[in-house]
Structure 1
Amino acid sequence: MVDFLGMMKQAAQLQSKMKALQEELDHVEVEGLAGGGLVSVRMTAKSEVKAVKIDPSLIKPEEREILEDLLVAAHGDARRKAEAAMQEKMKDLTGGLSLPPGLGLG
């Protein structure tokens, strides 16, 4: 016979762990770099940008397009690192099992 009470307990525990993980991800920060570190973007694992740093040598009108490209690249690097951090936290939570599509933390 199926242990529905046990399954309900497990679901409640998983929900509680997911809530705690969501809160923890607000505090996990990663830094994306571009241009050999001339541009950096710091963001949370939930993709909230916290800071952007630009080396003063790039702040020239004639270098505007390069700076824009480096900002996009640094943001992309930070986003990839944020996704990796989130995946690692999820793996810890689920014991290595992957969740079905749509059940992530997005």
Structure 2
Amino acid sequence: MKDIMGMMKKAQELQARMGEMQENLANMTVEGSAGGGLVTVTLSGKSDLRGLKIDPSLFKEDDVEVLEDLIIAAHADAKARAEAEMSQKMQEMTAGLPLPPGMKFPF
């Protein structure tokens, strides 16, 4: 019975920390880039697009497809960085809890 109470207490603590983490993620920003920095994308921790920077040298009519590809690549880079940061924070937060391997919390 004592173990169950301890687990319940840890679960409540985890729930409170998860709420705080979700709030922090909404305020976090991550940058990703492509083309050696010619295109930079800024995302929130929840992968919402917050900013886009394009080097003026890319504004040529015949380079539109290249620019589009670089924007997609920069977005993917920023999203991967945000996911890696979220995963790291989740590992730190759940360290020491008896969770099944591979268990992920939905955000």
Common topology (TM > 0.5): yes
Aligned counterpart, 1:47: 47
More deviation, 35-44/94-103:
94-103
Secondary structure, in 3 states, of the residue corresponding to 2:88?
Answer: helix
Matching of residues 1-106 of structure 1 within 5 Å: 1=1, 3-95=3-95, 103-106=104-107
- Taking the aligned partners of 2:94 and 2:103, their CA distance within structure 1 comes to 15
Q: Which runs of 4+ in 1 moved over 6 A?
A: 96-99
Q: Is this contact kept in 2: 1:22–1:105, CA < 8 A?
A: no
- Taking the aligned partners of 2:81 and 2:16, their CA distance within structure 1 comes to 25
Unaligned runs of 5+ in 1: none
- Taking the aligned partners of 2:5 and 2:100, their CA distance within structure 1 comes to 22
Unaligned runs of 5+ in 2: none
Residue identity opposite 1:103 in structure 2: K
More deviation, 87-96/9-18:
87-96
Identical counterparts, % of pairs:
49
Secondary structure, in 3 states, of the residue corresponding to 1:37?
Answer: coil
Deviations 1:12-38 (A, max 9, x none): 111001100111111221110101101
- Taking the aligned partners of 1:99 and 1:72, their CA distance within structure 2 comes to 35
Aligned length: 106
Secondary structure, in 3 states, of the residue corresponding to 1:43?
Answer: strand
